[in-house]
Amino acid sequence: MARAPEVHRRPENDPAYTAVKMLIPEFEWNKDRPVKERVAAAIKHIENPMYVKGILAVETTLAKEEIKKALAAELGNRKAKKGKKKAKKKAK
């Protein structure tokens, strides 16, 4: 079965975007960019979980899955780096 195409609404017409904007006044997200650019932009906000949740709330299903994968990979890399630093400190 073919999936129905996702509807791209302008931010001012999207109820999810409006709700996120009420919770996070500085929230800005452009879904017209290619998915790769949106994934890279989402990773830049990894330190602000509320902002990331806002991004996931307004994103399309396809982009949402890509962003989740990229965020999980980035968090995994950060934990691995922390583990290496702790191992070096213990070795000293």
Phi-psi region of 8 (alpha: psi -120 to 50; beta: other; left: phi over 0): beta
User: Residue 53: which H helix or E strand, with range?
Assistant: helix 49-58
- Flag whether 62 is in a domain: yes
In this prediction the pTM is 0.73
Q: Among residues 46, 52, 49, 54, which one has the least CA distance to residue 78?
A: 46
Q: How many domains does the chain have?
A: 1
Residues 14-70 have pLDDT tens digits of: 889 999 999 999 999 988 889 999 999 999 999 999 999 999 999 999 999 999 999
In a domain, 3, yes or no: no
- Residue 66 identity: E
Residue 4 lies in a domain: no
27 is a domain residue? yes
* Residue 5 falls inside a structural domain: no
Does residue 67 lie within any of the structural domains? yes
| 2 inside domain | no
Where in the sequence is the domain holding 26, given as residue range(s)? 11-91
What is the helix (H) or strand (E) element at residue 40, kind and residue range?
helix 35-44
- Closest-CA residue to 42 (of 50, 52, 54): 52
